[in-house]
Chains A and B, each alone.
Chain A
Amino acid sequence: QVQLRESGPGLVQPSETLSLTCTVSGFSLTSYGVNWVRQPPGKCLEWMGVIWGDGSTAYNSLLKSRLSISRDTSKSQVFLKMNSLQTEDTAIYFCAREWDYGGYSGNFDYWGQGVMVTVSS
């Protein structure tokens, strides 16, 4: 069955770089897009970016200067790197598969369990 699992450090120092990995199973990264979405504690969801099946990417303009999404299809892994972290980047970070049905796409049908990242010294 389809599964996504995020992994990475729970604590990051301010100004440092966050590196997260999303390991997927049950589908091919060359066939589906994978998105990153984050949720600050008690707040709403924020879309960060996507890497599509063809390897192209799109980013939220608010984060674009700090964010990079890449992948290793042989390992079924998607990577998020974001630099210059600040306390406001403290959030649960989710990876989620892009729903694609008959030309309709852009919602997220399977989500990982999320990884809590705290930015603090």
Chain B
Amino acid sequence: DIHMTQNPVSLSAFIGDKVTITCRASQDISRYLGWYQQKQGQSPKFLMYYASNLLSGVPSRFSGSGSGTEYSLTITGIQPEDAATYFCQQCYSYPRTFGGGTKLELK
């Protein structure tokens, strides 16, 4: 199974800040990676596929990058509605596996 390691586990930021969340795979996943946002008490929302492709309707302040085993999600100019937990998920092989999540809190 491919293990996904996310860092940091939690972070705190001010409105307008730029933050980066990293996701490391235990083997090369060739950009077969998605990112999700989950707000408290809600189901995850699909943000991005193939490491850097935003879904329609996702604000452009979200961006993704990476290759091989190292990937990142960046939010540039954080807004109040971005407070949530973010998960990465590989779809390179079965079983699909998720990162442990990064909780973003606003100061």
B34 contact set on A, CB distance < 8 A: 99, 106-108
Q: Which residues of B contact A45 (CB under 8 A)?
A: 44, 87, 89, 98, 101
Cross-chain contact of A99 among B46, B99, B101 (Cβ < 8 A): B46
Complex partner residue of A58 from B46, B55, B89, B94, CB under 8 angstroms = B94
Q: A111 — which chain B residues lie within 8 A by C-beta? A: 43-46
The docked-state distance in angstroms from the alpha carbon of A2 to that of B42 is 17
Could you mark each residue 80-105 of chain A with 1 if its beta carbon is under 8 Å from any beta carbon of chain B, else 0?
00000000000000101001010011
Q: Is the interface of A mostly helix, strand, loop or mixed?
A: strand
User: How many positions in chain A have a CB within 8 Å of any CB in the partner chain?
Assistant: 24
| Interface members, chain B 76-107 (any A CB < 8 Å) | 87, 89, 91-92, 94-101
CB distance A44 to B95 under 8 Å? no
**Chain A residues whose C-beta falls within 8 Å of the C-beta of B99 in the assembled complex:** 44
A106-B91 in contact (CB<8A): yes
Q: Are B96 and A106 neighbours in the complex by a CB distance under 8 Å?
A: yes
Q: Is the CB of B32 within 8 A of A106?
A: yes
Question: Which partner residue on chain A sits nearest B48 by CB separation?
Answer: A107
A112 to B42, CA, bound (A): 9
C-alpha spacing A105/B44, complex, angstroms:
17
Q: CB of A61 within 8 A of chain B?
A: yes
> What residues of chain A lie closer than 8 Å to B1, measured between beta carbons?
61
Q: Which of A106-121 contact B (CB under 8 A)?
A: 106-114
Pick the residue among A47, A105, A108 that contacts B95 (CB under 8 A): A47
Whole-angstrom distance between the Cβ of A113 and the nearest chain B Cβ: 6
CB-CB nearest in chain B for A45: B98
State whether the Cβ of A60 lies closer than 8 Å to any Cβ in chain B. Answer: yes
In angstroms, how far is the closest chain B Cβ from the Cβ of A9?
Answer: 19
Chain A residues in contact with chain B, CB under 8 A?
35, 44-47, 58, 60-62, 94, 96, 99, 101, 104-114
Instruction: List 23 A-B residue pairs with CB atoms under 8 Å apart, sorted by A's residue number.
Output: A44-B87, A44-B101, A45-B44, A47-B89, A47-B98, A60-B94, A61-B1, A96-B44, A99-B46, A99-B49, A104-B32, A104-B49, A105-B91, A106-B32, A106-B34, A106-B91, A107-B91, A108-B36, A108-B44, A109-B46, A111-B43, A113-B43, A114-B43
